[in-house]
Structure 1
Amino acid sequence: MNRIPICVLPILIILIFPVSNSEEENVRRSLVQFMEKLSGGNMQHDPKWGWSNTSDPCNDTWAGVTCDSKSHTVKKIILDEFNLTGTLDAISLCSAQSLTVLSLNRNNISGLMPKEIGNCKHLTHLYLSGNKLSGDIPDSFSQLSNLKRLDISTNSFSGQVSGLSRISGLLSFLAENNQLSGTIPDFDFFNLEIFNVSNNNFSGPIPDVKGKFTVNSFLGNSELCGKPLSNSCPPSAPPPPPPSKTESKRSSKNGFLIYSGYIILALVVVLLVCLKLISKHEPKEEKIDSKEVITDISSKHSGTSGELKNTGNRSEYSITSAESGVASSSLVVLTSSLVNELRFDDLLRAPAELLGRGKHGSLYKVLLNDGVILTVKRIKHWGISNEDFKKRMERIDRVKHPKVLPPVAFYCPKQEKLLVYEYQPNGSLFKLLHGSQLGQAFDWGSRLSIATSIAETLAFMHQEFHEDGIAHGNLKSTNILFNRNMEPCISEYGLMVVENQDQSILSQIDSYKHNVLSRDNIYSTFKVDIYAFGVILLELLTGKLIQNNGFDLASWVHSVVREEWTVEVFDKALISEGASEERMVNLLQVALKCVHPSPNERPNVTQIAVMINAIKNEEERSISSEP
């Protein structure tokens, strides 16, 4: 029997088992089609150019293409000054779902900006300067949630750019030398590093740029006004003059019809109210889901303090004050433009939704009559005097940071405390990690940015409150909320102290027992914050829940790392995305330092912020060098 020569076996293996470390065939074909349209039908056929269906962008050489060395997927396309004269085909381009950088500066690309560009979900850098692109900026740009740098300068774009302000985390925006119009939206100028909209057709007042950008960023827009420009904005237009006699006669007939309609509508409302009052006197059974219970906060002056009464499946929340006789006298409104004239009676009358209960109290969503939505945190049995509580709240109110959610008011009878906050509509880090709300991909870059933001914010707060000894005390992913711009904000800062934590965090450490610890000396609240932040980092890296049934995330990570299976720790979504294993390991090392069993071995939060910033800067450098 003839034997197959050994030297032929590798060839057979390659033929039988196709090479997997290459970009998928349908992606290659789409990218070739993208280049055909981009070059205007004049695509080069030089083998050194690549960009053909018979070659691979990662295993062969394609001009301007850079691939990830591990996942072998296209990460960057940089084609600056290639004299490209065609159009931008975003449908074909975005088939390369791992693409993070697209740079087409200083070519002759024309046509409209396709709305399909919003499908390039992982784009972090988009450079289109010096082309002939025209038309409106599509609304789909706001779907590029990972975009950090955008340069559309020196084109012929027109229309408004309002949707771009919804991109959270944008670091630079260059749009000078276009024909853009409308008002300049309120970008996140606190985080923006580079901004220029000069030589356009913008009008109206310039938003507050936090003193970061000079007049050079706004020149060439004759109808712009306000700082930093020298021309101030005109006062708002006066009210229109009263109508003449002839106009009032003409409108009187219309007015009669309108008022008649109002009277009929009022009669209908009165009838409905009467029916509702009658129905209330009729006995009936109600079944309300405790997760969706809607409660009325009402005043009952016969009690002594706030209490939560459960009647069947219905929760009735009542707050009273026997000390003053008037409940509103105990509500302290802090410096907030949101609720300048808030009274306790307003809270009592407002409908409230029970959002959840925890070890330390309950959380309610309250809708005021003027449409303002607030969150009320109710804490029971907190071992701190009213005077100390007031001093703590007023001290926290004096320290302002844009990434810390401040209380807008508080109430402190004898047995419980109420904290009032502005409601944040975009949920928490916990829900984003484990609930995938808003339908957006939570990639490595976003997680690293959130870790950096939390660390920097916590470092600021620890420094400000070091002398006061006020740490967060209950830091966790459910207390990291996202504001309207999807920026992470730390909520409930300073509400808890170690004595009131019930050792919830300390119980996760195997090597220390509760009866051996001296909480006042060894475990300061600042060290507990460090441990809690380390757990948040582990959540970001692993995507795993922190269970209440004894699952110890820190111990599990330690055990996996100890067995040298470090890659098994990371969230599979990050692995499939092709996130840098080196930088994930670096962040994991920071997390493990934070959750060290010995508090004295944990770094302070300023050191942590520096370490995470270094990882983020390395990530930015690896994505793209600034052109």
Structure 2
Amino acid sequence: MLPHARLLLLLAATLSLVQADLSSERAALLALRSSVGGRTLFWNATNQSPCHWAGVQCEHDHVVELHLPGVALSGQIPTGIFRNLTQLRTLSLRFNALTGSLPPDLASCVNLRNLYLQRNLLTGEIPTFLFHLPDLVRLNLGFNNFSGPFPSSFNNLTRLKTLFIESNHLSGPIPDLDPLILDQFNVSDNFLNGSIPQKLRTFSKDSFLGNSLCGRPLSPCPGETDAPLSVDNNGNGNHNRKKLSGGAIAGIVIGSVVCLLLLAFVLILLCRNKSGKKASAVDVAAVKHSEPEVPPEKSVSDLENGGHANGHAVAVPAVAAAIAGSKAEANGGAKKLVFFGNAARGFDLEDLLRASAEVLGKGTFGTAYKAVLESGPVVAVKRLKDVTITEKEFREKIEAVGRMDHESLVPLRAYYFSRDEKLLVYDYMSMGSLSALLHGNKGAGRTPLNWEIRSSIALGAARGIEYLHSQGPNVSHGNIKSSNILLTKSYDARVSDFGLAHLVGPSSTPNRVAGYRAPEVTDPRKVSQKADVYSFGVLLLELLTGKAPTHALLNEEGVDLPRWVQSVVREEWTSEVFDLELLRYHNVEEEMVQLLQLAVDCAAQYPDKRPSMSEVARSIEELRRSSLKEDQDQIQHDPSNDIEL
């Protein structure tokens, strides 16, 4: 009996210790609330467990996460609170009005991985105890009043991936951070000077603007050439200053002369051939199966994400060289462009053959081109690949697509079918795709996408998909993603590529669309309306977070976007997930959270838990109407608008 009694005593002591620990953590949180206030810290003090309080996340009866962003905390954080919260892994106090320096007992939180303190009024030098938190992965101290030198002790944080210290008062040079492998870095708008360390020169100039720094990606430092960097075996960038030998120079000269002679010879042959042919007799038989070559520095995914919007377009001599049918069919008149409805018939197949063109991108169903016709119109031409159905089936299905008529759809104007070529002709959207707008230009000159534009795009895309679903219970889009949401000059959304999933074989649906694909989809040619809703939910998350669906990171492990958002949000709807470009719009936080909730509902694991597209479109319309009404109310009640008599 004695061993059993000892075991019971041990269990009782352990339980008492756990309760005591949770009780001390509860007391620490209540002390924090009484010290710094907060408009939403309505924690129920009668509840013995803090694990049910808003913003508090527990594991194994310990507080491991504390999310209190934008809750009007003010004043200085008192010393002594964090020594009772030693199990914290995430601490978010951003978008408040906290002042003074950080309490030194924060060093007790040795398990801390994520520390978000941006947009407060914190002062003093960056505290040295932060450099003794070995598990720190993400550190954001931006938009505070930290001063002093840039500490070289950041090198102690060997797991650090994100370091944001922009808009503070740091001075002096940036130290070498060679031991660190950073994914995100920003020190803009400080008082830093000197040369940017070689290892940090891979970041964009936006990471360094507003300082007195030099070196790539900014202007070269005095005495430094702007030569391209070479990378040694240790991954360090070095300017290649090695001089060329005399033999190498001679080889270059000889090679250049030979190339000029060959070029002249080719030009002579081309001129002779051109003079013996009529403009309309374009021989495309030899190239009808060819694809324009993508530059080696641009991947297929780069082009799919809307290369034309980022200056990555690939020029080709003519559409005929890449997308035409056989010469016999074109000249014999056996095949022709088939137009839909009242679409303007200002051109024919011959005009298309003579059009100058450039590659817009390679997508799931084929390659898209921008074709500039001699008569003036500009159209987009999609050259389908892997079409596996008969001509009769193709005509039936594509004519159903051509009948689709809605202001939020990219209209299909015409098609061409032959044994070897299947072409679709659409209106050309000069602003490119949503994907290019979100993930393309990240450097200087980028126009941030504000809440009004993003919510408008979400509503336009929802209405387009809602219209498709209204055409019948078996009608779906089948390939919803940001590169298939095209934009007009006024940023109105137009849904493209609808109805094409039924035309091609399964080989045309590569893994790169898996980030949008609902978990129940096994055959990409058979996508239900509920699966469309899931894909649209991922699209909404992409709009809100600014992250590509397959590249979201959580704890250094790749996961899909819905799981990443859910892991960050947990039980409390926090703004940690939102794109930094959206965080400047404080008056629409509630609408942003509502749209986030809608996106998560759309991306539910089980189809019957997802709303219909009609419900989705109606919800987005209501939250946009609410946002506009609040803006109007603020303008009407703004004291600056009152006239003093």
* TM-score, normalising length: structure 1: 0.48
**TM-score, structure 2 length as denominator?**
0.46
